Structure 1
């Protein structure tokens, strides 16, 4: 059983957590383009409109970049491909929600993390198995990859919104 999931009287998994609701809200915010006020926390995932997580606020944005975390606070990572064959910079912890379906499943686009100079950031440790948390701090921009992943949002315990950006992703 994942974080926030319980069985109902008939044995079906029922979402009791907030990750699904937050990701659904991010999708709704990405889909609308309304100009409303800001909330008190500058990185609140529910902050509207899209573009509200950036400074200066109200810039053109089409994506709310976020991370998913497990119960230990470890960022979820997913594989992506770049145009350069054999590129070892192939894991990211940053996502854009593309679709939500069947209650709490989502299709996420894996975002390519970029350091200064638009160089792909290698987020894995030297051994290549764990996420190097200090490298995440060096990410300053993102690029949309062509890699998508389908996840059960009930398997995560936290979602952290990072920034609103314009990636030129067609809806």
Structure 2
């Protein structure tokens, strides 16, 4: 698959790393281990354990914590993936596959709609980027084979969206 799964970050030095680095590394740890802790007070905290806890109020089988990275203007970062709808489409949704220093390998996650479970095209009208007004139509996610490596220090925020089962090992 080429996305660098199952690499443990234990023992990695976390000196002088920013908040985004720490959050993404924590998401990776949560995805890579089975932890049975009670929910904390913030139902959408990126630090909520175990995986599946964002599916409040009940936990479900999950292998992924889907999140968005936000730039300094609060806008979502997005990447292009080859869509089953045909062509290239943007998505602001990611799964962390590996983290090292303040870099991470991310898998692009395709958005899926509420009605039929089909991919949602988030392409804007001029087909050059992301249409933010279409994001509310997203209720679920599918894995893609598109991965990229990013410098986490380039982002100002992380917004955790949903814990879901992308059937990563299937």
| TM norm structure 1 | 0.85
Instruction: Kindly name which structure, 1 or 2, has the bigger radius of gyration based on alpha carbons.
Output: 1
Equivalent of residue 110 in structure 1, options 102, 108, 111: 108
Taking the aligned partners of 2:58 and 2:70, their CA distance within structure 1 comes to: 26
Q: Which runs of 5+ in 1 are unaligned?
A: 1-13
- Structure 1 segments (4+ residues) deviating >4 Å: none
Counterparts in 2 of 1:95 and 1:47: CA distance versus 1, 3 Å: same
SS in 1 for 2:105: strand
Tell me how many residue pairs correspond in the alignment: 155
Shift of 1:114: 0.7
Distance 1:21 1:55 in 2: 23
Matched, 1:32 2:30: no
Distance apart, 1:89 and its partner CA: 5.7
Q: Compute the RMSD of aligned alpha carbons.
A: 1.7
Q: Distance in 2 between matches of 1:35 and 1:89?
A: 39
The answer to whether the 8 Å contact 2:63/2:166 transfers is yes
Matches within 5 A, 1:148-159: 148-159=147-158
1:158 positional shift: 0.3
Q: How does 1:10-159 map to 2 (within 5 A)?
A: 15-83=16-84, 87-88=86-87, 90-101=89-100, 103-116=101-114, 117-159=116-158
Change in Cα spacing, 1:83 to 1:127, as seen in structure 2 (3 Å) is: closer
What are the superposed Cα offsets for residues 32-78 of structure 1, whole Å, 9 maximum, x if unpaired? 11111111111100000000000342210000000001000110010
d(CA) in 2 for partners of 1:81, 1:125: 16
